[in-house]
Structure 1
Amino acid sequence: MYGRAEPRQQPGYACEECRKKKLRCDRQRPQCGACANAQIQCEVNDRRVPRGPKKGSIGALRSRIVALERRLSTSQNEDGDGQELSLTSESPVKENASAQFPLPDWDITQHEHPSGNSIPLAWGPPPDGLPRSPLLFPDVSVLPTIAASYPSPKQSPPSIGDVYVPDLAKADLIQLYFDRVQPIIPILNKPKTFRWMNDSHNMSEAQQCLQYAMWTSATAFSSQFSGFQETMYAKTRFMLDQLDLSGNDALVCHIEHVQAWILITFYEFSRTNYRRGWLSAGRVFRLVQFLRLYDLDSPKPLGAEHEEDPISIEEKRRTFWIAYCLDRFISVSEGAPMTLSEEVVYTRLPCLDIDFQRGLVPQECFLAETMSSAEIRPYAPLAECVILVTICSRALSHKQIYTIETLYSNIPLDFASRHDWLDGMLTRRLNNLQANYPSITVAENPMIIFSYMVAHAAVIYLCRIVESLSRNDQNQTVVWEFQERGFWAAQEIARLAKEHEHLGYFKAHTFMPLTIYLSATRLAKHLEIRKGDLETNQARVVENSLHISIDALQKLQSVNNLANYYLQLL
């Protein structure tokens, strides 16, 4: 038979003793079998409220949900804001409402949510007239909103999402961070980072934000974690925004706070859009200025010195120089003025990466000393990138000064000597790179590859400046010489972009598309200028390099939105 021939339980109520011991009561009266065998009194409570929802309550809940969705949809259509509040559209109604709408457990310190501070349903209070649903929190008559009580960074509204990330996946993300993100954003000391991450109970809010930023940035360098990439980013941005707004002391800012914003800014450039990354970069620059990271190694007045961990100081140095490079990348790309002025920097260059990770932090030179020195010696890959991007920014300033001088006088003052000085400094830096990082070891470090590409981009930039002289009928020999050098530099960038395929584009620097874009525009202009002078084979070589540059951008756009941004500019 397919059905049961008799009921599962006897009619009536189980006695209190069987309920207590979780035994099946035979429900005999006046004494059940279990109580009779134990020779104890059998008590029955026949006024107990039956388990489960009341009859008809499930249907009533469903009707209220449908009515609420209808009213919300009507109100949103009238407002025209296009935003949707998803309550039940993605999953069927279940009898247990609390199981249907689980709250996200984002608290990495495993503290419980405060009982008196419920998490708001939406980012802000609903407009007047819209109903508030008691379905998600049946014990609360009116849901509080962010406007009434600003939550801490440990809380997040359910609209962010409730993607569960297992501990093993989090450990995998951290490993992925140090394998792919750290080589191009080398701001963290690995042993120190693992120490405070393993001490979750004493982790500060700034460190929590940094941990989430590390997880988020790691998702941008892998395809296997793309499923919860957006949710992780939204959670990190929410935590950072709350940390900015809910600080107890306006004069206190932790270095982990700046580091988290740097990681999120690089993520936004590569995974969201250029505008959002640019705006977040502005916040990074202001935090750097707030902490005076540009003045870490200046002589301190007597009595003001205090002992600080050398590793922590080196982390601050590296944080500043990453922000400094970010400022230069944006300025060179857009021709915009720079925020972090080179003239006031009194922070030493970062030491070699291997020394930094081992906890040995030797004192390096200052940027101004290195720029004026002709010494051939190894620098950290980040330091090489800093020096080369500084030359690019000086070339930008050189162009802007030339424009102003031309506007106010017919003869630009000291243009030739300034240009020769930049050219000589760039040549020395290329020689230093080739002496300390030959082609055999270039492919092992994405930051060194990028440094080479930045150096060649600086050559292209100087070529652009010299070309502006041709309109004034200046020395055409110098112009043609720089055009040839610019063409050679563009070919080198295309070659390095092709070599980077063997290392993998997931390991490519976030701003590598900028250098490839400069290469492609230079190659296209070379074809335009010399189309009447080039032989068939020479034209084919130029077209092949141009095709390699465009192909590299097309391949990069699947992992970096900056590539798509520059493809649209071509």
Structure 2
Amino acid sequence: MVSNTSPSDPFSASTSTAASGKDTSLTPEDELGTPGRQAERSKPQSGYKNACSTCRKRKIKCDGDNPSCGRCQRMKLDCAYEESRKKSGPRRGYVRGLQERLAQAEELLKSQGTTGPGGNIDVDAATITSDFSNPLRDFGLESSFTDPDDFVFNSTEIDVQALQTSSPLDMFPQSTQDNQTTSFLTEDFSWAMIELGVQEPLPPQDTIDELTQTYFAKVHPTAPIIHKYHFLASRPPISLRYALWALAATITPKYASLHPHFHHRARKYAEIDETSGRQNYINIRHAQAWILIGLYEFKMMLFPNAWLTTGRATRLTQLLGLHRLDGLGVEVKQTLPKETDVGKMEERRRTFWQAFCMDRYAGVGTGWPLIIDERDISTHLPCSEEAFEQNTPGPGISLPEALNPPNAPLLSSFAGIVVIASLTGRILHHLQRSSPPNSSSDTTTNPFWNTHHEINTSLLALSRSLPRHLHLPSRSPNTIFLHMSLHSATICLHQALLFKLSPHFNPSLVHESRARCLAAGMEIARIMKMVAHMDLSLLNIYTPFSIYLSIRIFALLLQTPSSSPSPLSPEASIEDSKATMHFLLSALLALKEANPLAESYLIQLDLEGVGMAALQANVLCADSDSRVEELGRGLVSQFSLFSFLRVLLL
């Protein structure tokens, strides 16, 4: 049988072969072709699968010949091949990671009920540059600490070239409007970040770690309102973090130029929280943020802002019900949910009492009314630092109970400062509300004398009944300030009495009050000599006030006419008093480097004509007198925080 199939038809040939039962598998020659064909196919693959450097740079086709491609040979150019070339395109899993982050951001926005200007959120992952790391993590929305002692965030470090600048100020771009965006974000994504509550990148991670560590090492001991472990293990609001960093930067020379920017951002984000949802500011962290902002403003002599910020923080603690945490009865309203954790409950108490102390010191400094009425307080005083850090309950005593001498051993250093702040507030009320006594008034029945003796007795009882753990010398900054504020309150009380008394009053009472003032001033000087070797940045922010009062007392007593009875004892000669005043002036000047608030007192002393000779001889240049005088007049013309006490002490 003859086949009609043409030999040149491959389909028919294979069919006939299969029909005949022969082997139909292909040989190697069939797969690769002839030897010449095989060599032709292997020619381009001469070990270099990529174009030469010259052709690649000019983006033209290259035949890949080795050692020189055809084009380089014709053009007589140097031809070289890269042995290895980095893969182009994003790294493995990068796009998937961006999609996951984008989904998290959209989910978070939906949970907050926020939408874009057009009603929808349209964020394209392709518009995000490869150098932009997790935005939620970088802006503090997902950051948390693993180990409280290491101060290390779980978040990836910010890998943005804009942050890696030579100047510290360049790391923090200014933002003058709420809709200003960073240079590495697209418009849509920037809007999304603003809705999330952030408008610029956080500082570099090493800056965050160093400032946080500095705060808990140097600032926290004098204002122990934040539980270290709870803070590091949580996601605190950005306003609190900036306020914390601002205070730490004031005592860190490396970042001294950054604290105004941190303060500005702390206020900005705190105000943004108050204009957003209720959950953003009806919480303990928001109150702590305003307290730290107020402390910063006092320290930096921003007195009008400090007064208003203190009132804001105080009212917020009352809104949260922190002044009645341990009260009973139906009249006690609780704004915050009930807290079972001992440490977090103590943190609420300490936040209120810090605001209470700021209210008292601000009132004494300005003479303006106090905000908190002690009769409304039912919150226990702060426990010891050890109990606070270890989450163990304290003794739980109230403010009236603390004034009872048998309960003095239960006081912590912070609680002692609260008690003295309370007595200082009573002194202010005593000056403002009591009628001045006349020479014929009975010192046992007159309301003025009754209040005076009551406060004086409380101060004496407290100084005599302080427990051993609150004695000096001590390394605790709050214990040091406890003693200084105790003597400052004594000076305020008796100097106010001298101001109120008529010139013809009982000379023995006048002499006794002057002696009490001098003794308190000498104790303040003794304490300053005791702590002269310490790091002055560890001292309480209000320490310059005590030094100022002591200097004024020595100046007034040295100006006492020789015909008047002098309170100076034989061992406290005039020369010794001058030397003590000289030392206090030097201490106040040295403290100015760590606490700018001291400069306001130096200016005040200059305006009053006290100690200028000592300042000129030791600490001021000849041409600086006019600068100090000009600065002092400017401060007084705008706002003098201590004008009220200045009137009393003149």
TM-score by length of 2: 0.62
Question: 1:504 — aligned with what?
Answer: 535
In the alignment, structure 1 residue 349 sits paired with structure 2 residue 381? yes
Question: 2:297 — aligned with what?
Answer: 268
Question: 1:226 — aligned with what?
Answer: 256
Map 1:530-541 onto structure 2 (within 5 A). 530=561, 538-541=573-576
Question: 1:463 — aligned with what?
Answer: 494
Q: 539, 542, 563: which is aligned to 2:577?
A: 542
Q: 550, 558, 562: which is aligned to 1:519?
A: 550
In the alignment, structure 1 residue 487 sits paired with structure 2 residue 518? yes
Judged with a 3 Å threshold, the aligned counterparts in structure 2 of structure 1 residues 307 and 226 are, in CA distance, closer, same or farther, namely closer
The C-alpha deviation readout for 1:95-135, integer Å capped at 9, x for no partner, is: xxx99xxxx9961236999xxxxxx9953499xxxxx9x99
The residue type paired with residue 151 of structure 1 is I
Does the 8 Å CA contact 1:151/1:242 hold for their aligned counterparts?
A: no
Alignment partners' CA distance in 1, 2:224 and 2:401: 23
Alignment partners' CA distance in 1, 2:571 and 2:333: 73
Alignment partners' CA distance in 1, 2:196 and 2:524: 43
Question: 2:176 — aligned with what?
Answer: 123
Question: 2:12 — aligned with what?
Answer: none
Does the 8 Å CA contact 2:310/2:358 hold for their aligned counterparts?
A: yes
In the TM superposition, residue 16 of structure 1 has moved relative to its aligned partner by 11
Judged with a 3 Å threshold, the aligned counterparts in structure 2 of structure 1 residues 332 and 339 are, in CA distance, closer, same or farther, namely same
Does the 8 Å CA contact 1:187/1:319 hold for their aligned counterparts?
A: yes
Question: 1:235 — aligned with what?
Answer: 265
The residue type paired with residue 226 of structure 2 is L
Larger deviation, residues 508-517 vs 391-400? 391-400
Does the 8 Å CA contact 1:12/1:27 hold for their aligned counterparts?
A: no
In the alignment, structure 1 residue 433 sits paired with structure 2 residue 466? yes
Please say which structure displays the higher CA radius of gyration: 2
Larger deviation, residues 525-534 vs 455-464? 525-534
Alignment partners' CA distance in 1, 2:451 and 2:185: 73
Question: 2:60 — aligned with what?
Answer: 14
Alignment partners' CA distance in 2, 1:135 and 1:400: 53
Judged with a 3 Å threshold, the aligned counterparts in structure 2 of structure 1 residues 470 and 373 are, in CA distance, closer, same or farther, namely same
Does the 8 Å CA contact 2:436/2:448 hold for their aligned counterparts?
A: no
In the alignment, structure 1 residue 156 sits paired with structure 2 residue 199? yes
Does the 8 Å CA contact 2:591/2:598 hold for their aligned counterparts?
A: yes
Alignment partners' CA distance in 1, 2:420 and 2:341: 29
Judged with a 3 Å threshold, the aligned counterparts in structure 2 of structure 1 residues 537 and 136 are, in CA distance, closer, same or farther, namely closer
Classify the secondary structure of the residue corresponding to 1:182.
Answer: helix
In the TM superposition, residue 495 of structure 1 has moved relative to its aligned partner by 2.1
In the TM superposition, residue 307 of structure 1 has moved relative to its aligned partner by 5.2
Map 1:64-213 onto structure 2 (within 5 A). 107-109=139-141, 123-124=176-177, 151-152=194-195, 154-156=197-199, 165-196=203-234, 203=235, 207-213=237-243
Question: 1:402 — aligned with what?
Answer: 434
The C-alpha deviation readout for 1:462-486, integer Å capped at 9, x for no partner, is: 2112213541522221110110110
Alignment partners' CA distance in 1, 2:241 and 2:422: 31
Alignment partners' CA distance in 1, 2:592 and 2:562: 30
Q: 334, 339, 346: which is aligned to 2:366?
A: 334
The residue type paired with residue 564 of structure 1 is E
How many positions carry a matched residue from both structures? 457
The RMSD of aligned alpha carbons is 4.1
The C-alpha deviation readout for 1:216-253, integer Å capped at 9, x for no partner, is: 22212322322432332232222212112222558x61
The residue type paired with residue 369 of structure 2 is P
The share of aligned pairs that are identical, in percent, is 25
Judged with a 3 Å threshold, the aligned counterparts in structure 2 of structure 1 residues 25 and 554 are, in CA distance, closer, same or farther, namely farther
In the TM superposition, residue 334 of structure 1 has moved relative to its aligned partner by 1.8
Alignment partners' CA distance in 2, 1:511 and 1:187: 17
Classify the secondary structure of the residue corresponding to 2:225.
Answer: coil
In the alignment, structure 1 residue 383 sits paired with structure 2 residue 415? yes
In the TM superposition, residue 10 of structure 1 has moved relative to its aligned partner by 7.7
In the TM superposition, residue 176 of structure 1 has moved relative to its aligned partner by 1.4
The C-alpha deviation readout for 1:522-553, integer Å capped at 9, x for no partner, is: 11111112556578971111111211221121
In the TM superposition, residue 447 of structure 1 has moved relative to its aligned partner by 0.6
Alignment partners' CA distance in 2, 1:519 and 1:270: 20
**Which runs of 5 or more residues in structure 2 are unaligned?**
1-52, 73-128, 144-155, 159-172, 606-650
The residue type paired with residue 218 of structure 2 is R
Question: 1:217 — aligned with what?
Answer: 247
The residue type paired with residue 240 of structure 1 is A
In the alignment, structure 1 residue 568 sits paired with structure 2 residue 603? yes
The C-alpha deviation readout for 1:441-465, integer Å capped at 9, x for no partner, is: x2x1111111101110111112112
In the TM superposition, residue 567 of structure 1 has moved relative to its aligned partner by 1.5
The C-alpha deviation readout for 1:138-167, integer Å capped at 9, x for no partner, is: 976x9999xxx993474236xxxx7x7432
